[in-house]
Homo-oligomer: A and B are copies of this chain.
Amino acid sequence: MSESVIAALSRLSIEPSTRDVLQHNASESQAGWSDALSSSASSNVPVEYRLLKTLVFKPKTAKSETPLPLMVVTDDKTQTSTSAIAAETKLKELRLAVPELLKSTLDATKDDVSPLSVTQENKSKVRVLLDKDIVTSGTTYAVHARSASETVFLTGEALQRYLESTQVQLDVVAFSTLQAPNAPAAKAKPEPKSKTVDAKIPEAELIGITVRKDLDFPEWYQQVLRKGDMLDYYDVSGCYILKPWSYFVWECIQRFFDDEIRKLGVQNCYFPMFVSSDVLEREKDHIEGFAPEVAWVTRAGKSELEKPVAIRPTSETVMYPYYARWIQSHRDLPLKLNQWNSVVRWEFKHPQPFLRTREFLWQEGHTAHLTKQEAADEVLDILGLYRRVYTDLLAIPVVPGVKSEKEKFAGGLYTTTVEGYIPTTGRGIQGGTSHCLGQNFSKMFDIAVQDPKATDETRGKPEGRLHVWQNSWGLSTRTIGVMVMVHGDDKGLVMPPRVSSKQVVLVPCGLGVKVSQEVKDAVNDTCKKVAAELVRNGVRAHADLRDNYNPGFKFNDWELRGVPLRLEIGPKDLDNASVMSVRRDTGAKQAMKLDSLKTAVPELLEQIQQDMYTRADEEFKAHRKVVTDWDLFTSTLNAKNHVIIPWCEEEECEDAIKDRSARTASSEEAQDERAPSMGAKSLCIPFDQEAYPAIQGKSCPQCGKPAKRWTMFGRSY
């Protein structure tokens, strides 16, 4: 794709300022793009450049007509007033184009799209409005080479020549002269009306989060992760650096889970990251799902390998040939192994930190049992631990249940899951899965023992052999992304106390120039002493005595990182032998006696943990709606709900539900990410069926067949 762009540019003697297309992390925002470029180690990035902004609008169009979208191309910082543009182009009711329209006209997403998306083939499906200011300025622009993960650097003049060469309908107008119909003509500056402007938080300082969580969630998520010091972008697309602030959360999860599975008799081990193709492809159903995403090592140093080796996308087929060797007798059962490792799935969809990354950290447990019952019990034991990771550590409610046949792990018998909920988008998110693989893999890999109940007739014969029952279960760093999305707010992260690397920060306050050095020292010393005392009592406390920042900066800094509790200590507090505590989750302030902190602070942290869970739980409960009438399905979904229906559990019905709930949505105008047009899929069949009316006599609202169980549907990540 990008090569043909270069070819097209070359035909016009337009040389990109470098010969190469720069590869980087795809981003869902301009800020993310900018970060990806500035973090690039490539020498192809010019010293000075600006980002190009490309917006595609759909004008009001008669229902009988095919809409002709308008592409607007300008500097990232130039305000684009839709009313001014509408006036200039004589178009009406410009709305941002929905994904389907972008796809059908330019074969692009909103993140990919750029003037280079226009070609001689699709020139008649779009018209373009190019800002003359960027043509005359001589500035070099970063332009997506038809993909959000590829950038070339071009001048506005080159862009104009390229667009002209495609013969697309092109208008070149200086945006600085554009006027909204009712705006006073005196000042040529257009009104700030675009969505980006609306989402901005006016009072946010440079270091703070600059957009509102509810108005620009993708941008908010990226900012909160980076400014909250959770991660950094990386110069290999789809990969991210986990900084200590987020890695600590993972360490808490590891410590908890490791201790618990040890009680269940699970042992840790380590298998190699490489898999031979023979082994990888042994189980066909299973590998089908992973094959397109498998990364292959074909070369070492300068030598081509005789046979390429894959990097594991998961380890079933890696481990089970060895299980077949290690399990010789029923006395070798159960075999319960776990490993903490990273796996690689080279996804080509947009990566998203923690949620969809090409390498991710997880644990994967693989166990073998003599009986189905023993395997089934363990599946639930593990799922119970996953639930506790969410509820007890991350303060996040989840719904445990079983997956539909369509959504279960390929090659397994059944899949259990804990399902979470992101209130801002109303989308569901799979939290962790515990699979019963049945005997499918054990038959494939011949993992079998002599049946201890074999009779004299069957002993030693095939009938006397018993294939083991297997489970596999995994929990990944996705947990961290869910935690950020659920709890974070417009000021940044909000960390649940139990997984926060720092739980309490002490900030000396009120130490203006008029305060004596003696008092300053006393305040600082008190901060240090209190922190030390708290640490002795098992609280992760930190005194922020940096002398080059004022208290306001420090408040902001720790709020961005989501430290659960701030203790402010000033001269007056010393006089009263008290401190002022400020909760991160609610902002609630409360004076606390100095001599009570040793016990009061741990109690308050525990209260914060409980309150965070309770709030998230109430929010999720309020968005699980029982629906028995199909007409209400999509509208309930659109109101950011999960929808619980009495369901027939047929796969065709699941497909139809996805289809019909998608179609309904896409006929509306999608304003932004917040109303995604994707269809709903089944998230899980909750274990707790008692919470709903008796299923007998109910029929599936979509197809009318008899319902089997209440099932939770939703749009999901």
Contacts and interface: CB of A to CB of B under 8 A. Distances in A.
A234 B342 CA distance: 19
Contacts of A39: 321-322, 325
A211 interface: no
Contacts of A242: 269-271
Task: Rank and list the top 8 A-B pairs by shortest CB-CB distance, nearest first.
Answer: A300-B346, A244-B267, A239-B272, A292-B301, A242-B270, A296-B299, A236-B274, A298-B298
How many copies of the chain does the oligomer comprise? Answer: 2
- The size bracket of the interface on A is 35 or more
Nearest to A338: B244
Given A267-B244, A268-B244, A273-B359, A299 B298 contact: yes
Nearest to A317: B41
Interface stretch (A164-172, A275-283, A431-439): A275-283
B297 A269 contact: no
A271 B246 CA distance: 12
A493 interface: no
Interface of A is mostly: mixed
B293 A296 contact: no
A454 interface: no
A548 B331 contact: yes
B241 A272 contact: yes
A295 interface: yes
Most chain B beta-carbon neighbours within 10 Å: one of A21, A41, A278: A41
Interface string A677-715: 000000000000000000000000000000000000000
A23 interface: yes
Nearest to A294: B301
Contacts of A344: 273
A303 B348 CA distance: 10
Interface stretch (A305-313, A590-598, A641-649): A305-313
A342 B359 CA distance: 13
Contacts of A274: 236, 239, 358-359
A273 to B, nearest CB: 6
A235 interface: yes
Given A244-B337, A247-B269, A303-B348, 16 more contacts: A23-B306, A39-B322, A41-B276, A235-B276, A235-B278, A236-B272, A236-B276, A240-B272, A243-B269, A247-B268, A274-B359, A298-B299, A300-B348, A301-B346, A311-B311, A341-B342
Interface in A315-362: 321-322, 325-326, 331, 337, 341-342, 344, 346, 348, 358-359, 361
A275 B42 CA distance: 13
A251 interface: yes
Interface string A40-72: 011100000000000000000000000000000
A346 to B, nearest CB: 4
B41 A279 contact: yes
A291 B301 contact: yes
A546 interface: yes
14 contacts: A39-B321, A39-B322, A42-B278, A236-B275, A244-B269, A291-B301, A294-B301, A296-B298, A296-B299, A297-B298, A297-B311, A299-B308, A311-B311, A341-B342
A309 B346 CA distance: 12
B294 A235 contact: no
Given A235-B276, A276-B41, A342-B273, A295 B302 contact: no
A681 to B, nearest CB: 23
Interface in A379-425: none
A232 interface: yes
Contact of A322 (B241, B267, B278): B241
B301 A546 contact: no
Nearest to A303: B348
Nearest to A361: B270
A268 B301 CA distance: 30
Given A244-B337, A269-B244, A331 B300 contact: no
Interface in A1-59: 2, 21, 23, 39, 41-43
A235 B297 contact: no
Most chain B beta-carbon neighbours within 10 Å: one of A273, A274, A279, A322: A274
Most chain B beta-carbon neighbours within 10 Å: one of A248, A298, A300, A302: A300
Contacts of A295: 297, 299-300
Given A273-B359, A274-B236, A300 B307 contact: no
Given A241-B322, A276-B236, A337-B244, A297 B296 contact: yes
A342 B311 CA distance: 13
Contacts of A301: 291-294, 346
B241 A279 contact: no
Contact of A41 (B43, B271, B321, B326): B321
Contact of A241 (B236, B244, B271, B348): B271
A27 to B, nearest CB: 17
Interface string A594-618: 0000000000000000000000000
